[in-house]
Amino acid sequence: MRNFTCVQDIGPLDKAVAEALEVKANRYAYKHLGENRTMLMLFFNSSLRTRLSTQKAAMNLGMNVIVLDVNQGAWKLETERGVIMDGDKPEHLLEAIPVMGCYADVIGVRSFARFESKADDYQERILQQFIEHSGRPVVSMEAATRHPLQSFADLITIEEHKTKARPKVVMTWAPHPKALPQAVPNSFAEWMNAADYEFVITHPEGYELDPAFVGNARVEYNQDRALEGADFVYAKNWSAYAGPNYGKVLSTDRSWTVDARKMSLTDNAFFMHCLPVRRNMIVTDDVIESPRSLVIPEAANREISAQVVLKRILESL
Amino acid sequence: MRNFTCVQDIGPLDKAVAEALEVKANRYAYKHLGENRTMLMLFFNSSLRTRLSTQKAAMNLGMNVIVLDVNQGAWKLETERGVIMDGDKPEHLLEAIPVMGCYADVIGVRSFARFESKADDYQERILQQFIEHSGRPVVSMEAATRHPLQSFADLITIEEHKTKARPKVVMTWAPHPKALPQAVPNSFAEWMNAADYEFVITHPEGYELDPAFVGNARVEYNQDRALEGADFVYAKNWSAYAGPNYGKVLSTDRSWTVDARKMSLTDNAFFMHCLPVRRNMIVTDDVIESPRSLVIPEAANREISAQVVLKRILESL
Amino acid sequence: MRNFTCVQDIGPLDKAVAEALEVKANRYAYKHLGENRTMLMLFFNSSLRTRLSTQKAAMNLGMNVIVLDVNQGAWKLETERGVIMDGDKPEHLLEAIPVMGCYADVIGVRSFARFESKADDYQERILQQFIEHSGRPVVSMEAATRHPLQSFADLITIEEHKTKARPKVVMTWAPHPKALPQAVPNSFAEWMNAADYEFVITHPEGYELDPAFVGNARVEYNQDRALEGADFVYAKNWSAYAGPNYGKVLSTDRSWTVDARKMSLTDNAFFMHCLPVRRNMIVTDDVIESPRSLVIPEAANREISAQVVLKRILESL
């Protein structure tokens, strides 16, 4: 594998999941792969799970790890070419990226959608610059439009818990006080479509996702109807994608919060969320704390998805 | 050892000190213990010594170390259950703690008293949540009411320097411009009582510590009288504990500052302080720079106390 | 080597460059040297290249590395002796430095000129305190008056690219919106003088550097004339050094920006800059992106200069 930014990069999903389960059972069996190899983890945005799980995965593989928080202890970075740099940003990404490539064998990048320009976000301008200019394999640790390490961990978790070959998975929008990117729902949809589950997306009018990610999913505006017979309920907030509302909060309607009544409509579904989650906005305390909640196993599988990705990259160096 | 939060967790002190001196002489002899083990150091508050010494100790034992400053590069954490999380904290401790447990074998936590609620502080709500929900051994890197790695290092330092079987140790309050927790004096008192030294506490009226920590110590309100014949003077500021003054600064009286005249009342005592120390508030330049000052050896022993604790935890995994 | 703060510390330059090229070809051949050794990297100021390259160099040598950003997650440090510490700084450097020495085998320090006092800056008060009080070898990761790891990397880069035994190297001032220290130009001048190249410095009137660093360099106020026949153009901004203007910006004249016309005056010179660089202030996009730009190879050699320095220190421990 050269880069890991989307579901296509991982190849056949059955093989990837099998490798994940093998790594999970023997996570220190590949320490030789990372010897004298350095993982640089670069954060333009905050992180808890991604930071810890990716670092852990790299260390499991014997890599050296350097963590860098841009804007904390490093220089602010200019991202536009051609500007006269007389403002508050003393360094340009066009220098910073190849420089970082000098000191790393693999680069992980977290760079969220900025909601300044839909085109910039959906062209993945920051991530693409790393791919073009770093000279190194690049791993998305959540970019503007996708969060593939999360989706891969979600897939592993569903495969571990499903009791049908083709479970019904429902991704439901839920309210949140601030505008969040579409990266997680886009990415989850991309992976669920690739896994060929029965996949339903439900959200209020106006929250339609990019059709390129929705793919073959059934979109249902009635949350109750969507949840009927679900095996897995994947809750997530996102801001509007379509038209001039891009990046806006159109609703904070708490009737969409996933609670016990909603879960009772399902086929005793598991509850999933990528975390961090706002309790009693996205999901009630009792649902997230119930025995059917998979939020912690999902998070634990972040170490595994990251380790499979890094292992494959190291094997191809 | 499962957790390390107080003096009881370390067992017999003579055995602990003997092990400390052995580790100090051979600090790389146990590198195999930490192989494929990860130490997560989690800071809700600032740190210099604890950060460096605990990381060093873990590395001496061959562990991988991940350092996480909460509120810097990670998400702000909600600590109350039941709230509708529509404010500035996007994640709840009840998710964050078990998630962190997924990626670590041992968790170190620093979480100071917040002075919002004496009950919350003295029930060690944050630390207890880590113990209950992380599924991992937890090491206090200073909690609301105790700083046991510091006290253990202090004990080692006294044992290295004492010339009597049962030295006289005087802990004296000293002035400071801001309200500080009682964790260090509480903890020092707890360990001195357990060590069965001649132990005296001196402070102005109103600065009485929790009787559970004072234990058998003699409390003396006249600082000069307390210092007479002392072998070790342990200076420290703390804010008021008792009654409605909890967490308040009642005095910044610099007549309590430890200076050369005060030290002349002692039996050529050693001067101790846990650091960081405000010079010329807590202690004068000449006393802290004198040959009888143990502040640097105390700090150096922080590596040793942490290493004994981590070694015992690793041995019991 | 005990400390590394200036060109004299590295000894004969031909030997240092030869060692650098050998290390560059075999950067993992010395991993045994750093076993059970800890590098503490301490930042009072922001860093990208120095942070990554020095950490990488230490890890290449098998060292454990601890990175500490002062003022982020640690305590603010008082630097003046004798003050009553009742303000916002809870710890004094006179304690903090020996404490840090307790937990490290080698200490790297970044501490820029503060422009509060020319005497303080040019006496390197902070760096000297680390040398005097830490008890450990100290590596300057850019101090108030020099940036020797950068200059050593610049020297290696010139040696790798020169086609004449004694190339003409021109260091030119260029405009910048904020006041920058003289550390990089001072240090570059010091190393170029030691390398005995044909060395010319050009800048507007008022930007004269400390004569102790200018040494035998030819100073030329006409930038065009200075650039004639140059083999290497080293661009850099600095603030005024001389007299009451110390630390001031006297000009932001963009006619000094290095552009294609300026480069056409040279003997097809290579362009160099230590980075971070403000594009279209210091240098135009086309020049920095041209095939004659060495800014990335210079940065890559930062790992090598740091590794030679740390290797020599480890060998002498």
- Distance between CA A143 and CA C136 in Å, rounded? 43
What percentage of chain C has pLDDT greater than the value 90?
A: 94
Mean pLDDT to the nearest integer, A100-127: 96
Measure CA B256 to chain center: 22
Q: Which residue has the tokens 């420290």?
A: B236
Q: Residue ranges of the alpha helices (H) in B77-182?
A: 93-102, 118-122, 125-133, 148-161
Chain A residues in contact with C47 by the CB 8 A cut-off are 73-74
Average pLDDT over residues C88-93: 90
* Residue of C24, C39, C44, C46 to mutate, interface with A, max A Cβ within 10 Å: C46
User: In terms of CA atoms, which chain C residue is nearest residue B300?
Assistant: C102
- How long a stretch of residues is chain C? 317
Cβ distance B38 to A51 less than 8 Å, yes or no, reads no
How far from A74 is each of A110, B220, C48, C49, C136, CA to CA, in Å? 15, 51, 5, 9, 26
The answer to whether A77 and A51 are in contact (CB under 8 A) is: no
Q: Which residues of B touch C (CB under 8 A)?
A: 28, 43, 46-49, 51-53, 55-56, 59-60, 69, 72, 177, 252, 275-281, 285, 288-289, 295-296, 299-300, 302-303
Rounded to whole angstroms, the Cα distance separating B301 from B171 reads 19
- Subunits with at least 3 CB pairs below 8 A relative to chain A? B, C
Give the residue-averaged pLDDT of A133-141: 97
CA-based nearest distance A238→chain B, Å:
14
pLDDT at A76: 78
CA distance A33 to chain B (A): 15
Write down the pLDDT at residue B222: 98
Q: Give me the pLDDT at residue B72, please.
A: 66
Q: Who's near C142: CB < 8 A, 6+ residues apart?
A: C45, C47, C50, C110, C111, C112, C149, C150, C183, C184
- Separation in Å, CA of A84 to nearest CA in chain C: 5
Across the interface, do A279 and B99 touch by the CB < 8 Å criterion?
no
Cβ–Cβ below 8 Å for C99 and B296:
yes
Q: Which two tokens stand for residue A43?
A: 């954060």
Name every chain B residue with its beta carbon within 8 A of the beta carbon of C96.
48, 276
The CATH homologous superfamily to which domain B150-298 belongs is Aspartate/ornithine carbamoyltransferase (3.40.50.1370)
Instruction: Read off the pLDDT of residues C50-89 as tens digits, 9 standing for 90 and up.
Output: 999 999 999 999 999 999 988 765 667 888 889 999 998 8
Cα angle: B268, vertex B273, B277; to 5 degrees = 125
Which residues of chain C does A136 touch, with a Cβ-Cβ cutoff of 8 Å? none
Taking an 8 Å cut-off on Cβ atoms, the answer to whether C87 and B177 are in contact is yes
Asked if A43's CB is within 8 angstroms of B73's CB, the reply is yes
The pLDDT value given to residue A74: 61
Taking CA atoms, what residue in C is nearest to B110?
C73
Please state, in angstroms and rounded to a whole number, the distance separating the CA atoms of residues A44 and A37.
23
Q: C interface toward A at CB cutoff 8 Å?
A: 28, 43, 46-49, 51-53, 55-56, 59-60, 69, 72, 177, 252, 275-281, 285, 288-289, 295-296, 299-300, 302-303
Q: Residue A46 and residue B74: Cβ atoms within 8 Å?
A: yes
Task: Give the pLDDT confidence score for residue B73 in this predicted structure.
Answer: 57
Question: Under DSSP, is residue C154 helix (H, G, I), strand (E, B) or coil?
Answer: helix
For residue C200, which phi and psi values (nearest 5 degrees)?
-125, 140
In this prediction, residue B116 carries a pLDDT of 92
What superfamily does domain A7-146+302-315 belong to in CATH?
Aspartate/ornithine carbamoyltransferase (3.40.50.1370)
Question: In chain C, which residue's Cα lies nearest the Cα of A67?
Answer: C52
Angle at A235 between CA A231 and CA A240, to 5 degrees: 135
Average pLDDT in chain C = 96
Split at pLDDT 50, 70, 90, the class of A243 is very high
The shortest C-alpha distance from B124 to chain A (Å) reads 23
Least confident of A24-28, A44-48, C236-240: A44-48
pLDDT recorded at residue C193: 98
Rounded Cα gap, residues C300 and C20, in angstroms: 12
In whole angstroms, give the CA distance from residue B110 to residue B127.
8
Give residue A83's pLDDT.
92
CB A3 within 8 A of CB A139: yes
Collect all residues of chain B within an 8 Å Cβ-Cβ radius of residue A64.
none
Chain B residues in contact with A300 (beta carbon < 8 A): 99, 102
Q: What is the pLDDT of residue C79?
A: 83
For range A180-208, the mean pLDDT: 98
Interface contact flag, B82 A285, Cβ < 8 Å:
yes
Amino acid, single-letter form, for residue C263 = M
The count of C-alpha atoms lying within 13 angstroms of the C-alpha of C166, restricted to the half-sphere facing its C-beta, is: 7
Q: Do A278 and B90 touch (CB under 8 A)?
A: yes
In this predicted complex, what is the ipTM? 0.93
- Option in B74, B90, B98 nearest A51 (CB): B74
Q: Give, in words, the CATH class of B7-146+301-315.
A: alpha beta
What residue segments make up the domains of chain A, in order of their start?
A: 7-146+302-315, 150-298
| Distance in angstroms (rounded) separating the CA atoms of residues A143 and A146 | 6
* Residues of A whose CB is below 8 A from C55: 66
pLDDT at C13: 98
pLDDT on residue C307: 98
Mean pLDDT value of segment C218-235: 98
CA-CA distance, A229 to B306, in Å (whole number)?
Answer: 53
B10 C-beta neighbours (distance < 10 Å), count: 24
Per-residue confidence (pLDDT) for residue B59, from 0 to 100:
98
Per the CB < 8 Å rule, is C69 touching A64? no
Q: Flag if A99 and C46 touch (Cβ within 8 Å).
A: no
Which of the four pLDDT bands, split at 50, 70 and 90, describes residue C46? confident
Tens-level pLDDT at each residue, chain B (317 residues): 999 999 999 999 999 999 999 999 999 999 999 999 999 999 999 889 999 999 999 999 999 999 998 876 566 788 888 999 999 888 999 999 999 999 999 999 999 999 999 999 999 999 999 999 999 999 999 999 999 999 999 999 999 999 999 999 999 999 999 999 999 999 999 999 999 999 999 999 999 999 999 999 999 999 999 999 999 999 999 999 999 999 999 999 999 999 999 999 999 999 999 999 999 999 999 999 999 999 999 999 999 999 999 999 999 99
Alpha carbon C48 to its chain's center: 13
Sequence-distant (≥ 6) Cβ neighbours of residue C104 within 8 angstroms: B52, B56, C38, C39, C40, C66, C134, C136
Interface of A with C (CB under 8 A): 36, 38, 40, 64, 66, 68, 72-75, 78, 81-87, 90-92, 94-96, 98-100, 102-104
Residues of C in contact with B296 (CB under 8 A): 95, 98-99, 102
Q: Tell me which residue in A69, A299, A303 faces B73 most closely, judged by beta carbons.
A: A69
Question: How close B86 comes to chain A (CA, Å)?
Answer: 5
Q: Which two tokens stand for residue A316?
A: 């191809």
A7-146+302-315 and A150-298 share one CATH topology?
Answer: yes
High-pLDDT (> 90) share of chain A, %: 93
Phi, psi of B66 (to 5 degrees): -120, 125
Q: What is the DSSP string of B197-261?
A: -EEEEE--TT-PPPHHHHTTPEEES-HHHHHTT-SEEEEE-----SGGGTT------GGGSB-HH
* Chain C residues within an 8 Å CB radius of A99: 48-49, 52, 275, 296, 299-300
